[in-house]
Structure 1
Amino acid sequence: MFDGGYREKDARDIARNASEEASKAILCAFRAMFDGGYREKDARDIEIPNIRWDVFELMMRFIYTGSVQVTSEIAQDLLRAGDQYLLEGLKRLCEYTIAKDVNLDNVSDMYDLSEAFHAVSLRHTCILYILEHFNKICTRAGSAQLIQRVIPELRNFLTKALSSSRSPSTTDDRNLQT
Structure 2
Amino acid sequence: MLEDASTEDVTFRVERETFAAHRAVLAARSSIFQKQFSEPMKKKMSHITINRLEPVVFKALLHFIYTDSLPTMDDLSRDENNAVMQSLLAAADQYDLERLKLMCARILCTDLDVENVAGALWLADKYNCQKLKEACVDFMDSSNRVDDVVASQGYQLLKRGSPTPLADAWEKRSRARISFH
Structure 2-normalised TM-score? 0.69
Query: Paired residue for 2:110?
Result: 100
Specify which structure has the bigger relative contact order, considering alpha-carbon pairs within 8 angstroms and separated by 6 or more residues.
Answer: 2
Aligned AA for 2:2?
Answer: F
Equivalent in 31, 35, 42 of residue 34 of structure 2: 31
1:138 Cα deviation after fit: 5.2
CA deviations over 1:18-73 (Å, ceiling 9, x no partner): 21221111012211111124x43321211222111111111001001100136552
Question: Structure 1: where are the runs of 5+ without partners?
Answer: 159-178
Q: TM-score, normalised by structure 1?
A: 0.70
Q: 2:138 aligns with which of 124, 128, 133?
A: 128
- The size of the alignment, in residue pairs, is 153
Following superposition of structure 1 onto structure 2, how do residues 1-178 of structure 1 map, counting pairs within 5 Å? Answer: 2=2, 5=4, 8-28=7-27, 29=30, 30-37=33-40, 39-69=41-71, 72=78, 73=81, 74-131=84-141, 133-134=142-143, 136-137=145-146, 140-141=150-151, 147-151=166-170, 154=172
Residue deviations 1:1-33, cap 9 Å, x none? 836x46742211111122122111101221111
Distance 1:52 1:105 in 2: 22
Cα contact 1:70–1:97 (8 A) shared by 2: no
Task: Tell me the C-alpha RMSD between the 2 structures.
Answer: 3.1
Cα pair distance change 1:45/1:81, threshold 3 Å: same
Name the stretch that deviates more: 91-100 or 56-65: 91-100
Cα distance change, pair 75–147 in 1 and its aligned pair in 2 (3 A): closer
- Aligned-pair identity in percent equals 25
Q: Which runs of 5+ in 2 are unaligned?
A: 177-181
